[in-house]
Amino acid sequence: MGLKIHRPKRGSMAYYPRKRAESLVAKFNVWPDPHPGKPLLLGFAAYKAAWPMPWSLMIGPQARSTARRLLSQSQYLMPPPIKVIAFRAYTYDPWKNLKLSLGEVWMPDVPKDIARKIPTLPEKFNKEEMMKRILDNVDVITEVRAIVATQPRLSGIGKKTPEILEIPIGGVDDVNQLIKFADSILGKDIGINDVFSEGQYVDVAAITKGKGWQGVVKRFNVKILPKWHKHRKGYRRIGAIGPQNPALTFTTPRPGQMGLHKRTEYNKRILRIGMNGAEITPPSSGFPHYGIIKGGPYIVLEGTVPGVVKRLVTLRFPVRPRPQTYPTGKVQIVWLSTQPLQGA
């Protein structure tokens, strides 16, 4: 009777293909709608500000069903107001299984910083004509999305070029209300308090830290071969890549790109939304690689967020909502650390 060898699969099929992200702006394919009864944006964008020390906050008794206090890891985000520069109406083509644009409406005076990202902006735009075109097709409109631009000048990352992304508008089922709401916020700034509130759970998506081209030991945690003469061709490698016929499988661990992938993490609770970043900034020199969080708003998330400091993080309502037994509402934070993670 032979020995049964236990060898788990190296890596996860959920993360294939392991290639570089096409953009540093992480986008969602699904935007859950909580239907609060009023129109609102279904997401927001923020910059990763700091990664404090591992045990960085103490939550009050109402954080869990028990009455004990809880030490936890937290993540600080800087969400400057986003500007709605346009909105777009979509319809669905069942034959092609595609979303088709029915037209878009831009704000009258687009900020100059937008030209850093979109050099060919429409010089002459007839808003009345595009609104008439959209309203004439209300019966076939399935989705209305806002085209928003971040305002990195209002954050502490020392950047001018904004990021452009689409965020759907939801909250109600009436398309006319969605179009009216999109027209009302066109050219205005939307704050984090207009979308999320303290105690809510959100999903976050970001692009992870890039680590370049790596071998199979670091990339897939392959066991290092023993160093004797049979392995003179190398020991930080796999023994065989597979048979010649049929062709090699893509599941075989191979060297390649590691990091700079889009990753989504679910159900991160918003512990605090503050309006004065000086409350959490170290008094000496600020956070490493970020500096001082300016007087704008900040978010304290329970848990961690992918990516490096100053990278854009996209937030949405949870696609896998927590059960009703989980606590909601404001969180009592007893102690919040302002000490950065050593070596971050």
CA–CA dist 162, 25 (Å, integer): 11
Task: Please list the ranges in the chain whose pLDDT falls under 70.
Answer: 1-5, 7, 51-71, 123, 295, 337-344
Nearest to 44 by CA among 331, 342, 314: 314
Its CATH architecture, for the domain 211-258, is Irregular (4.10)
**Burial class of residue 24 in the structure, from the number of CB atoms within 10 Å of its CB (0-12 exposed, 13-18 middle, 19+ buried):** middle
Domain ranges of the chain: 38-79+191-210+261-344, 81-190, 211-258
Q: What is the 3-state composition of the chain as percent helix, strand, coil, each rounded to the nearest 5?
A: 15, 30, 55
Angle at 240 between CA 224 and CA 225, to 5 degrees: 15
* Cβ atoms of 54 and 275 closer than 8 Å: no
HSE, side-chain direction, 13 A CA sphere, residue 133: 13
Q: Among residues of the chain, what percentage have pLDDT more than 90?
A: 46
Q: What is the rounded CA–CA span in Å between residue 182 and residue 134?
A: 12
Structure-block tokens of residue 18? 């392991």
| Ramachandran class of 191: left when φ > 0, alpha when ψ lies in -120 to 50, beta otherwise | beta
CA distance 294 to 224: 48
Tell me, what DSSP letter sits at residue 128? Answer: H
Q: What is the pLDDT of residues 278-323, one digit of tens each?
A: 788 877 777 777 877 776 789 989 888 999 999 999 999 999 988 8
pLDDT digits (tens, 9 = 90+) for 6-32: 767 777 778 888 999 999 999 999 999
- 81-190 fold: Ribosomal Protein L3; Chain: B; domain 2, (3.30.1430)
Is the CATH code 2.40.30.10 the one for domain 38-79+191-210+261-344? yes
Is-contact 205 26, C-beta < 8 A? Answer: yes
